[in-house]
């Protein structure tokens, strides 16, 4: 199809561009909690122009910012209708490096929030990893400005190149989307499966959500179910849908397979990591008692703030009454108390014997907690197996 820039401008004038929405399902609840907004071009005769036929032209003609300015009000209208009919869905919207160079996007978002047409938590901006790394100074500034409006930010196509670890650690993302090629290959490659699991774990340790795209089969979905991933999207759940179709899809209130095991495992991972980091910090003090250094704030938080506590006091309460679940509370609280006592002891430059006694108590509480977690996980796995028949 031979398309020109004039065809694109004519299409905008005629209102031929619209959004299709690909649902995202929470692995924890099994319900749709939002969607990715994908631009589509429908000709007057009803024919859909494939994105691969017009998106490269939009980029080549330098019209990305123009198209975004044209489509953003449509996104707000769609979001308002979705919220009026189906609830507080969060929509994800892709932007490019050019748009981050132009303060116009920031202005559009701020104006929408100030006019109360948009609440920050209802919009997630997605940018590719390559964009984030290639022009870091301007990207950091623009992303920070976007964050100040209250929206969340996701790194799209994570793992496709550049300096992924450095990017995630330095830029203010709240979610990462692993490139769908890894999800496809994990079904046949142990190495790809390991990369998926470690990427999810890294996101958890950084305190951000992980979103898997390209979930095309039930097998892929169920593999991810216990990995601790936050959300999934793909054709096994649904293809991108026009607004009316998306609303109808949401109206069925379908529930996909869900499990607390993935989040439980991730909570365990974060808790264990923080425990080891605390131990390393204390041993650094024992090695150099005259220069203990600053204590990282995240090593001492309340029992409700850590990943395990957030799960236990939140969605985990669905398991309340289970002996192994209930037995988590006491050692978990005691571990946090001991954490505070040990950090206080380092500040007072207490003796090694005092530190040793506290650390021994901490290890015993950690072992008790781990035993209960393992029993709980094993039983939940067998209960899911029984439900599958």
DSSP 83-133: HHHH--PEEEEE--HHHHHSTHHHHHHHHHHHTTS--GGGEEEEEEHHHHH
Token pair in block for residue 287: 């090695």
pLDDT given for residue 190 in this prediction: 92
pLDDT tens series, the chain, 389 aa: 688 889 899 999 999 999 999 999 999 889 999 999 999 999 988 889 988 889 888 888 888 888 988 999 999 999 999 999 887 899 999 887 677 777 777 888 889 988 888 888 899 999 875 555 555 677 777 778 888 888 998 988 887 665 556 667 777 788 989 888 888 899 999 999 998 998 898 888 888 899 999 999 999 999 999 898 999 999 999 999 999 999 999 999 899 998 888 888 887 888 888 888 888 877 877 777 666 555 555 566 788 887 788 878 887 888 899 999 999 999 999 998 998 888 888 778 888 899 899 999 999 999 999 899 999 999 888 988 888 76
Kindly state whether residues 221 and 330 are assigned to the same domain.
no
Position 308 scores a pLDDT of: 81
Q: Do 375 and 348 fall within a single domain?
A: yes
- Check whether residue 140 and residue 268 sit in a common domain: no
Same domain, 269 and 254: no
> Which stretches within the chain are classed as H helix?
5-13, 51-60, 64-86, 97-101, 104-114, 129-134, 136-148, 164-170, 180-185, 190-206, 218-225, 243-251, 261-287, 307-313, 323-326, 329-347, 352-387
Q: Are 272 and 373 part of one and the same domain? A: yes
Residues 6+ apart with CB under 8 A from 350: none
Evaluate whether 137 touches 102 at the Cβ level (below 8 Å).
no
Q: What is the pLDDT of residue 387?
A: 80
Per-residue model confidence (pLDDT) at position 105:
79
Handedness of CA 223, 228, 232, 237 (dihedral sign): positive
DSSP letter for each residue of 172-210: --SEEEE-HHHHHHTTT-HHHHHHHHHHHHHHHHHT-EE
| Statement to judge: residues 62 and 169 lie in one domain | yes
Based on the fold, state whether residues 163 and 245 are members of the same structural domain.
Answer: yes
Predicted confidence at residue 218, as pLDDT, reads 93
Q: Are residues 26 and 167 in the same domain?
A: yes
- Containing structural domain, residue 295: 263-387
| Together in a domain, 212 and 284 | no
> Domain end: 210, 233, 258, which one?
258
CATH of the domain at 373: 1.20.120.30
SS3 state of residue 279 = helix
Nearest to 76 by CA among 19, 129, 28: 19
Q: Give the sign of the dihedral formed by CA 136, CA 142, CA 144, CA 146.
A: negative
The verdict on 242 and 295 lying in the same domain is: no
How many domains is the chain partitioned into structurally? 2
Residues 52 and 88 reside in one and the same domain? yes
**Domain finish residue from 258, 283, 305:** 258
Same domain, 291 and 167: no
Query: Which contiguous run of DSSP H or E holds residue 295?
Result: none
CATH number for position 128: 3.20.20.450
Last residue of a domain, one of 239, 258, 277: 258
């Amino acid at each position: 199809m031979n398309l020109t820039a004039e065809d694109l401008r004519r299409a905008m004038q005629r209102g031929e561009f619209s959004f299709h929405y690909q649902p995202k399902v929470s692995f924890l609840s099994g319900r749709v909690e939002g969607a990715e907004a994908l631009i589509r071009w429908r000709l007057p005769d009803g024919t859909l122009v494939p994105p691969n036929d017009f998106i490269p032209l939009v980029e080549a003609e330098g019209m990305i910012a123009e198209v975004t300015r044209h489509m953003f009000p449509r996104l707000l209208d769609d979001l308002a209708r979705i919220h009026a009919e189906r609830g507080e869905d969060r929509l994800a919207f892709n932007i490019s490096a050019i748009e981050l160079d132009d303060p116009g996007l920031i202005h559009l978002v701020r104006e929408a929030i100030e006019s109360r047409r948009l609440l920050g938590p209802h919009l997630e901006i997605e940018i590719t990893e390559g964009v984030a790394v290639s022009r870091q100074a301007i990207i950091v500034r623009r992303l920070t400005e976007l964050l100040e409006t209250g929206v969340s930010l996701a790194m799209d196509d994570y793992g496709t190149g550049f300096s992924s670890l450095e990017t995630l650690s330095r830029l203010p993302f709240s979610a990462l989307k692993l490139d769908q090629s890894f999800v496809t290959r994990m079904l046949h490659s142990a190495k790809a499966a390991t990369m998926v699991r470690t990427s999810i774990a890294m996101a958890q340790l950084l305190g951000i959500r992980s979103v898997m795209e390209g979930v095309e089969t039930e097998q892929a979905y169920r593999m991810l179910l216990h990995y601790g991933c936050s959300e999934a999207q793909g054709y096994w759940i649904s293809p991108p849908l026009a607004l009316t179709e998306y609303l109808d899809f949401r109206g069925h209130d379908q529930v996909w397979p869900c499990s607390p095991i993935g989040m439980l495992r991730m909570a365990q991972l974060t808790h264990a990591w923080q425990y080891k980091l605390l131990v390393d910090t204390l041993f650094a003090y024992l090695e150099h008692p005259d220069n203990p250094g600053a204590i990282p704030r995240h090593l001492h938080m309340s029992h409700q703030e850590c990943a395990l506590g957030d799960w236990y006091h939140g969605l985990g309460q669905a398991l309340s009454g289970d002996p192994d679940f209930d037995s988590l509370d006491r050692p978990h609280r005691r571990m946090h108390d001991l954490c505070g006592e040990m950090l206080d002891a380092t500040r007072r430059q207490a003796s090694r014997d005092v530190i040793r006694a506290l650390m021994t108590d901490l290890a015993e509480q950690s072992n008790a907690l781990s035993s209960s977690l393992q029993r709980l996980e094993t039983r939940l796995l067998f209960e899911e197996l029984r439900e599958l028949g």
